[in-house]
């Protein structure tokens, strides 16, 4: 068995840590017209646009649905991931006509990957390998009962899960990893980045519009960040009433965290930071814009960390029984795997660094699968608690929001 590489900041049973205050002065947006909802207009017409983000989310929805069709070919899934304009890869004609795709925006932020082609190639190869594993390993065993060391299907209550020989549900791994590699990375490390926004300061000051559009470049970039969180909402101007119901990506898990009483209000905090940041761009108050960007980096990153720990603990509870619930446990741990993978795309506020490096994330994922030869079939509560503790300590959830591992 490989030597464990746990990044443990505190291993005490009570998770005792020293909590430093993260209080900061409240933003005082004097002179900023901050609307009640995400409505911004110029000459009576909307100046908001994030259609590209909505398109990519809808493409991603079709991809993860297609993972559950065992007749799908490698060529079909790969073509959906790397869609070429005009190709009939999707059931939606508008998606087929689009010049957008998922691959080109995966691990593609300016701040993290413009000078890091090596990691970008490795990350994109991971997604392609998960597609390959689904086609080569899971589909051929679709109607075979899974067992330790053998792919197949396994019951999870009234549901059926389809897993690899290591117990991983590849549609869940792909789905949850894409939340980080696409939605979080583009949002935190690209569209709200000063490196991306500041070159457009003069144009925004003079209200120079993008050709044939009703927005400035800076306004549009900020809107695109909004789109990755709320671009499929029933009400695009106020996504809060249906948060968690609109797609299976970042929106869904903002809603899941909102539903935890320890974190109630996080949806409002994210929405208000996006709205105030956009209003600050209109008002040309760039310090306020930057302050909201840092708020968003903390809150969106928290979503990923919270759900990673949640699924590790859910999986532990399912497996650590006299009669283990392997189907439910593997489903939870596959989601946890994806959220752990997404940690490398988070961003510490007032920093150029993620909460966890790629090397740390890779080590966590090795640890998750190396308690025995059969991956999740052999994972121990000790391993799951150790990884959970490392993640929770780095974020200090229980310091800021009263949350603790249970």
Whole-number pLDDT of residue 31: 79
**Given a cut of 90, is residue 27 above it in pLDDT?**
no
**Given a cut of 60, is residue 28 above it in pLDDT?**
no
Write out pLDDT tens, residues 350-406: 999 999 999 999 999 999 999 999 999 999 999 999 999 999 999 987 554 444 444
Contacts of 184 (CB under 8 A, 6+ apart): 228, 250, 300, 301, 304, 342, 345, 346
Q: Could you tell me the sign of the dihedral formed by the alpha carbons of 284, 286, 290, 292, in that order?
A: negative
**Given a cut of 70, is residue 199 above it in pLDDT?**
yes
What is the C-alpha to C-alpha distance for residues 184 and 188, in angstroms, rounded to an integer? Answer: 6
CA distance to 67, 95, 112, 240, 252, per residue, from 57 (Å): 16, 10, 21, 18, 12
* CB burial readout 6-40, b (16+ within 10 A) else e: ebeeeeeeebeeeeeeeeeeebebeebebeeebeb
Whole-number pLDDT of residue 29: 52
Whole-number pLDDT of residue 15: 34
**Given a cut of 50, is residue 306 above it in pLDDT?**
yes
CA distance to 118, 149, 216, 375, per residue, from 378 (Å): 32, 10, 54, 6
Q: Name the average pLDDT for the chain.
A: 92
- The pLDDT of 342-353, averaged and rounded, is 98
| pLDDT confidence tier of residue 338, bands split at 50, 70 and 90 | very high
Which residue in 205, 37, 63, 71 sits closest to 130, CA to CA? 63
Q: Are 296 and 273 in contact (CB under 8 A)?
A: yes
Q: Which of 85-94, 120-129, 389-398 has the lowest mean pLDDT?
A: 389-398
- The pLDDT of 1-21, averaged and rounded, is 34
- How many other CB atoms are there within 10 angstroms of residue 211's CB atom? 5
**Given a cut of 60, is residue 9 above it in pLDDT?**
no
Per DSSP, 145 falls in state: B
Whole-number pLDDT of residue 57: 98
Tokens 């935190």 label which residue? 188
Whole-number pLDDT of residue 24: 40
CA distance to 65, 105, 180, 196, 290, per residue, from 113 (Å): 29, 11, 14, 13, 21
**Residues 233, 67, 225, 293, Cα dihedral to 10°:** 110
What is the C-alpha to C-alpha distance for residues 165 and 23, in angstroms, rounded to an integer? Answer: 47
| pLDDT confidence tier of residue 2, bands split at 50, 70 and 90 | very low
pTM over 0.75: yes
What is the C-alpha to C-alpha distance for residues 293 and 35, in angstroms, rounded to an integer? Answer: 18
Write out pLDDT tens, residues 132-187: 999 999 999 999 999 999 999 999 999 999 999 999 999 999 999 999 999 999 99
Percent of the chain with pLDDT over 90: 90
| pLDDT confidence tier of residue 5, bands split at 50, 70 and 90 | very low
């Amino acid at each position: 068995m490989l030597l464990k590489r746990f990044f443990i900041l505190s291993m005490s049973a009570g998770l005792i840590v020293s909590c430093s205050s993260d209080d900061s002065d409240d933003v005082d947006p004097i002179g900023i017209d901050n609307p009640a909802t995400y409505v911004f207009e110029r000459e009576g017409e909307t100046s908001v646009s994030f259609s590209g983000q909505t398109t990519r989310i809808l493409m991603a929805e079709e991809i993860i649905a297609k993972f559950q069709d065992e007749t799908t070919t490698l060529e079909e899934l790969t073509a959906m991931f790397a869609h070429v304009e005009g190709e009939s890869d999707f059931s939606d004609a508008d998606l087929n006509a689009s010049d957008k795709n998922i691959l080109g925006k995966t691990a593609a932020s300016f701040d993290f990957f413009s000078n890091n082609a090596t990691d970008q190639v490795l990350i994109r190869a991971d997604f392609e390998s998960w597609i390959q594993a689904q086609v080569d390993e899971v589909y051929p065993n679709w109607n075979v009962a899974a067992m330790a060391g053998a792919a197949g299907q396994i019951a999870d209550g009234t549901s059926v899960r389809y897993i690899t020989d290591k117990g991983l549900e590849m549609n869940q791994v792909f789905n949850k990893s894409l939340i980080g590699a696409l939605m979080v990375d583009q949002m935190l490390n690209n569209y709200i980045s000063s490196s991306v926004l500041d070159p457009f300061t003069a144009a925004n000051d003079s209200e120079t519009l993008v050709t044939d559009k009703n927005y400035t470049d800076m306004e549009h970039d900020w809107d695109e960040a909004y789109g990755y969180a709320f671009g499929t909402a029933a009400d695009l101007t106020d996504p809060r009433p249906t948060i968690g119901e609109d797609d299976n990506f970042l929106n869904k898990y903002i809603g899941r965290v909102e539903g935890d009483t320890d974190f109630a209000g996080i949806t409002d905090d994210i929405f208000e930071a996006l709205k105030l940041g956009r209003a600050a761009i209109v008002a040309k108050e760039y310090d306020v814009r930057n302050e909201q960007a840092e708020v968003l980096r903390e809150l969106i990153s928290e979503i990923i960390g919270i759900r990673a720990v949640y699924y590790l603990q859910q999986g532990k509870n399912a497996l650590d029984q006299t009669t283990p619930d392997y189907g439910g446990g593997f489903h939870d741990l596959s989601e946890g795997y994806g959220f752990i993978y997404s940690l490398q795309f988070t961003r510490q506020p007032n920093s150029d660094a993620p909460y966890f490096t790629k090397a740390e994330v890779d080590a966590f994922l090795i640890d998750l699968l190396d308690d025995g030869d059969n991956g999740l079939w052999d994972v121990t509560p000790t391993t799951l608690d150790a990884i959970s503790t490392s993640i929770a300590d780095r974020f200090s959830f229980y310091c800021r929001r009263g949350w603790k591992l249970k």
